[in-house]
Chains A and B, each alone.
Chain A
Amino acid sequence: MSLLTLSFTLAFVAIAIILSTWLKIGVERDIIIATVRSTIQLLIVGYILKIVFGLNNPLFIVLMIILMIAVATQNASKRGNGIVGVTWRILIAITIAEVIAQSLLVGLHIIPAKAQYLIPISGMIIGNAMIVSGLLLNRLQSEAASHRQEIITLLALGGTPKQSMMPFVKQAIRASLIPTIDSTKTMGLVQLPGMMTGQIIAGADPIIAVRFQLVVLFSFMASAMIASITLGFLTYPSLFNQYQQLILPVSSK
């Protein structure tokens, strides 16, 4: 696709801006910012990927993955405002999920250890782990707030924070995984996943594209679960103080 052809797609942006102006929806400015940002970000990433793929140097692959984890952590930590040390907990959770998933994928020779496989699949795994982490943090705080009386009753009966909180940690983990599991269930029926679509458009055999998509889906489920469980277990103790009193972050009250 030439840049000229690509620029024709700005017609879509124009349609959105015209509609927004006409109906006074007021998102023109945001549409323009989004268009400019996504164009610049993706073009830069495209060039960086080209360089990294060309070098195929493990150091750059690792750096790239670290960068992705850092951005994902930063993003997900916004969901845990008020929880002490939430950033490093997310960092650990996402890193563990990514390392385990990639070790299996590469270790079992499911994908070759090459930049063009490692980086996009890492991006998807890390991105999904980020979303799951955000959901988990949100849910964990709301579970603790809405079941406050049950938790306090258990504490008052001599239960430890772990005993008092465990049903709600599990509930939060379960809730955070539902979107991943549900989208896996309907995969192919409701929507064709982006990666597969991309491969098919780029000329790959749909059968091969499907196989890669399955690899991604299955590693998604496992890595989402690993990230969610790790984060849930790392985070719940911070909802209690040294005297085993429930302390809810201000944001969840």
Chain B
Amino acid sequence: MSEQNAPVAISFQQVFTSFSIKKERSTVLKNITATVPKGDIVALIGPSGSGKSTLLSLCNLLHTADSGEVLVEGVNVLNWNVTELRRKVGLVFQSPTMFPGTVRENLALARRLQGSTLNDPESLLINVGLSPDLLDHDASDLSGGQKQRIALARVLSTEPHALLLDEVTSALDPSAARNVEEWILQIHAKERTTMLWVTHHLEQAQRVSQWTWLMVDGHLIEATETKRFFSSPQSEHGQLFLQGELSGYLT
């Protein structure tokens, strides 16, 4: 990809990944080589089924590549202590999973798994734009947008160096989506957390990211500066995708 000399947070080197579905092996990632610069936001776009979520899941080792290497902070993910890696590289899912109990208990979850306690749940909530009054509410009573922000805050409680965001706003109504997006950007402004952000919302990609990666059918077609991608995509696929003529959803 581009000519940056900035330090690299996550890097993929000739990565292939496949799944077996009904005894048939299908390759979902085909020779991915790219780097996520430290402190930047990369938007990952492409038609559904192009392998975006799989690429994310390689970074925190929820899946393993068949071949090639995935490096986080210069170290192959296979050589990381798995739980340590997952705390350093937080993942926020499309639909937030709340566990039975209060907001406070949900926020403290990641720390409890580590065997420690969460000292300042109030500031975590404020950090994602929620009132500390919510702490003792039942987590299942919250709205979708609130749950997603709790899920985000829960991941942030482990003080991750990088965040993987898997269509985190696509299950939300437009105003909640915008709200979650803004709070993520605020966190980025404050912490300079590296982010790999899967979205099918092209305007969102344009708003939030410095870099845009276009994936089609397991291939990384284009990886370039967001401004450049949206003004003059270099690949034919990129042009088609922006025109909404590539299979998959577009705004």
Contact = CB atoms under 8 A, between A and B. Distances in A.
Interface of A: 149-150, 152-160, 163, 243-245
22 contacts: A149-B93, A149-B95, A150-B97, A150-B99, A152-B62, A154-B109, A154-B113, A155-B62, A156-B60, A157-B86, A157-B87, A157-B113, A157-B158, A158-B83, A158-B86, A243-B61, A243-B64, A244-B61, A244-B83, A245-B61, A245-B62, A245-B63
B73 to A, nearest CB: 16
Nearest to B77: A243
A158 B99 contact: no
Q: Could you say which interface size class chain B belongs to?
A: 20 to 34
A163 B114 CA distance: 10
A158 B63 contact: no
Interface in B106-148: 109-110, 113-114
Contacts of A158: 83-84, 86-87, 110, 113-114, 158
Given A149-B97, A158-B83, A245-B63, 15 more contacts: A149-B95, A150-B99, A153-B93, A155-B62, A155-B86, A156-B93, A157-B90, A157-B113, A157-B154, A158-B86, A158-B110, A158-B114, A160-B113, A243-B64, A245-B61
Interface-central residue, B64, B86, B114, B158, by most chain A CB under 10 Å = B86
Contacts of A160: 83, 113
Question: B interface, by DSSP: helix, strand, loop or mixed?
Answer: mixed
Contacts of B158: 157-158
A98 B64 CA distance: 41
B155 interface: yes
Contacts of A163: 113
Contacts of A243: 61, 64, 78, 82
B214 interface: no
Nearest to B154: A157
Nearest to B99: A150
Contact of A157 (B61, B78, B95, B109): B109
A154 B113 CA distance: 8
Contacts of A159: 83, 113
A156 B158 CA distance: 11
A152 B56 CA distance: 14
Nearest to A151: B97
Contacts of A157: 86-87, 90, 109-110, 113, 154-155, 158
A152 B114 CA distance: 16
Nearest to A241: B64
B95 to A, nearest CB: 8
A160 B115 CA distance: 12
A236 B96 CA distance: 25
Contacts of B95: 149
A94 to B, nearest CB: 32
B41 interface: no
A111 B62 CA distance: 53
B223 interface: no
| A-B CB proximity, top 8 nearest | A158-B87, A159-B113, A157-B110, A153-B97, A156-B91, A158-B86, A158-B83, A244-B82
Nearest to A153: B97
Contacts of B155: 156-157
B8 to A, nearest CB: 22
B64 A245 contact: yes
B197 to A, nearest CB: 16
Contacts of B78: 243
Interface string B235-251: 00000000000000000
Contacts of B60: 156
A152 B166 CA distance: 14
Contacts of A150: 97, 99
B198 to A, nearest CB: 15
Contacts of B97: 149-150, 153
Contacts of B61: 243-245
A159 B95 CA distance: 19
Interface string B20-45: 00000000000000000000000000
B163 to A, nearest CB: 11
Which of B90, B95, B97 has the most chain A CB atoms closer than 10 A to its own CB?
A: B97
A169 B62 CA distance: 21
A34 B39 CA distance: 71
A217 to B, nearest CB: 34
Nearest to A164: B113
A163 B112 CA distance: 10
Nearest to A245: B62
Contacts of B82: 243-244
